[in-house]
Structure 1
Amino acid sequence: MIMKKKTESKAKTAPKAKDTEKQPDTKTSKKRKIEEKEEEVEDQPKKKIVKKEVVPYNYEDGLEAGWKNLLSSEFENEYYKEIKEFVATERQSSVVYPADEEVFSAFQYTPLDQVKIVIIGQDPYFNPNQAHGLSFSVKKGTAVPPSLNRIYNVLEKTIPGFKKPKHGYLESWARQGVLMINATLTVRKGKANSHANCGWQNFTKAVLGQLSENKSGLIFFLWGTFAQKLGKIIDKSKHHILEAAHPSPMSGDKWNSCNHFAQANDLLKEMGKEPIDWTIQ
């Protein structure tokens, strides 16, 4: 018997079905996460940046009626308001001399109707415990600056009985009618002339112009080219102009021949006015 061979059908291995599910796109996933984080940040309350309000100091408030009336138009001028805002802003980030309440000391110590002599300086001293609103003067307890020391030298030579004091506080002069004003009334600590371009010089020119126009017989000490240029606004037919080199050591011997203090007293006597007692206690 012939046996038929059984054909063994080899079971074919069925091909694995392809995974039709798409794998998540990593780029899209990252983008979604970033968007979610941004949404979370947006939902958080934003911190408010509070800027400190700049409040200008009203220097003119402390003045007596004479100065207030004379300079009223300047106090309303836009440039003067800008000066006050500038100084107030400077004080927020820097030390500024002198203190606000001392900026107008020259006007406070010397009422308008008592002005006899005007001494013009350039800008305030810029080191601590010096400037207090009077040109060339420094607070007590501070070393006498070189320029003021040279002023004392001239006083010793020209004013009988004058003895050098151990301080540089000149308030007694101001109380007798000596208006000691700087062209620039404020300065940043340690930086000479740092406020020279903020508008103060326009104000000082206006002060000199008003004095020249509304007063007569005033004596102006113009020391150095800066003060002399500023003093060109003064009417020489109505007032007395005394010019000399600046008392700074840089002027050398030129300052030593200055005789303004004695000259001023002679002029005051001629006009029937009380001379200045230049001695300092």
Structure 2
Amino acid sequence: MAARDLHTAPRPAVGGWAELPFFDTHWPEIEAQLAAEAREILPPAHQRFAALDLTSPEATRVIILGQDPYPTPGHAHGLSFSVEPDVTPLPRSLRNIFQEMRDDIGSCPETGDLRPWAEQGVLLLNTVLSVPAGDANGHKKLGWQALAHQVLDHSSRRPTAYVLWGNQAQALEKHIRPGDHLILKTAHPSPLSARRGFFGSRPFTRINDWLSARGEPPISWTAPRTYSGSPADV
């Protein structure tokens, strides 16, 4: 892409999040690098910003930070930890999340599609929004992290629940403004670390207790989707 085109990259459809400086300062260069990438990039371009598109700044009540998208084709669809509804078996981290959910609240969703959470104000945001197929962390140096930093700063202008699983997510706590937040920090649900403090942490009950104490409706963690479009749309 020619240098003159870097300032004309289309602004993604991300609602109120489009006002973040990232889309002027970082997105044009990232978009150019993605356009020059010869490998298959996941998730597909129309799903890359799905988390921000589905959960607006005004609707965001909970943020669950992930790392980068699943590198297996057909798995990632733009929301951290979530997979397309037909994916089996589930990725190991998501299986552990569901195991903890069953231990915590007695049940878990029927599929790995977490879009029902997004519809209730749970922003499922990866800190890196693209990955080359088969190459986990392959795009960690593109500059995506600036977006997560700005989302944390913007969202923390009002009380929000933050779920920081693992050291990488916890390192971003410095971008959360002081406030009446709930900040949950435990080991990552990965099989390598889940038994070091993730299991038994009861994040789902703790989030709902915090929301209820604020007079807000709790998250229905096992609710079916209400989104009426095709699964390929987001």
Considering the TM-score relative to the shorter chain, is it more than 0.5?
Answer: yes
Alpha-carbon displacement from aligned partner over 1:113-152 (angstroms, at most 9, x marks no partner): 1100000000000011011100000012212111001100
- Structure-2 separation of matches of 1:102 and 1:207: 18
The alpha carbon displacement at 1:232 in A equals: 1.9
**Structure showing the higher helix proportion among its residues:** 1
The one of 148, 152, 163 equivalent to 2:94 is: 148
- Equivalent in the alignment of 1:119: 64
Q: Which secondary structure does the structure 1 equivalent of 2:72 belong to?
A: coil
Select the residue among 170, 173, 194 that pairs with 2:138. 194
Q: Is the 8 A contact 1:123 1:192 kept in 2?
A: yes
CA distance 1:252–1:61, change in 2 (3 Å): closer
Distance 1:101 1:222 in 2: 27
Give the secondary-structure state (helix, strand or coil) at the position aligned to 2:193: helix
Equivalent-residue separation in structure 2 for 1:208 and 1:252 (angstroms): 24
Distance in structure 2 (CA, Å) of the matches to 1:247 and 1:263: 17
Equivalent in 127, 131, 134 of residue 76 of structure 2: 131
Tell me, in whole angstroms, the C-alpha distance in 2 between the residues paired with 1:130 and 1:57: 27
Tell me, yes or no, if the aligned pair for 1:156 and 1:164 is still in contact at 8 Å: no
Aligned residue pairs: how many?
218
Unmatched 5+ residue regions in structure 2? 225-234
Match of 1:256 among 186, 196, 199: 199
Match of 1:74 among 22, 29, 52: 22
Q: TM-score, normalised by structure 2?
A: 0.87
Corresponding residue number in structure 2 for 1:231: 173
Amino acid at match of 1:155: M
- Shift, 1:199, TM fit: 0.4
Q: Is the 8 A contact 2:163 2:183 kept in 1?
A: yes
Cα distance in 2 for partners of 1:135, 1:159 equals: 21
Q: Is the 8 A contact 1:57 1:88 kept in 2?
A: no
In 1, Cα distance between the equivalents of 2:12 and 2:81? Answer: 24
Task: Select the structure with the greater relative contact order (CA < 8 A; seq sep ≥ 6).
Answer: 2
Map 1:151-162 → 2, pairs under 5 A: 151-160=97-106, 162=107
Unaligned ranges ≥5, structure 1: 1-53
User: Counterparts in 2 of 1:4-15, with a 5 A limit?
Assistant: none
Q: Match of 1:229, SS? A: helix
Identity of paired residues, percent?
A: 36
Conservation of the 8 A alpha-carbon contact between 1:62 and 1:108: yes
Structure 1 stretches of at least 4 aligned residues deviating more than 4 Å after TM superposition:
54-57
RMSD of Structure 2 on Structure 1 (CA): 1.9
Distance in 2, matches of 1:252 and 1:178, equals 22
Q: Is the 8 A contact 2:17 2:56 kept in 1?
A: yes
| TM-score (normalizing by structure 1) | 0.73
The answer to whether the 8 A contact 2:60-2:155 is kept is no
Deviation digits for residues 21-72 of structure 1 (CA, Å, limit 9, x no counterpart): xxxxxxxxxxxxxxxxxxxxxxxxxxxxxxxxx99863x33122x2223x1x
Distance between the aligned counterparts of 1:84 and 1:171, measured in 2? 25
User: Is the partner of 1:250 in helix, strand or coil?
Assistant: coil
Q: 1:84 aligns with which of 7, 31, 51?
A: 31
Contact map agreement 2:85 2:112 (CA 8 A) in 1: yes
Alignment-mate amino acid for residue 222 of structure 1 = L
Q: Which moved more, 1:251-260 or 1:174-183?
A: 251-260
Q: Distance in 2 between matches of 1:191 and 1:124?
A: 10
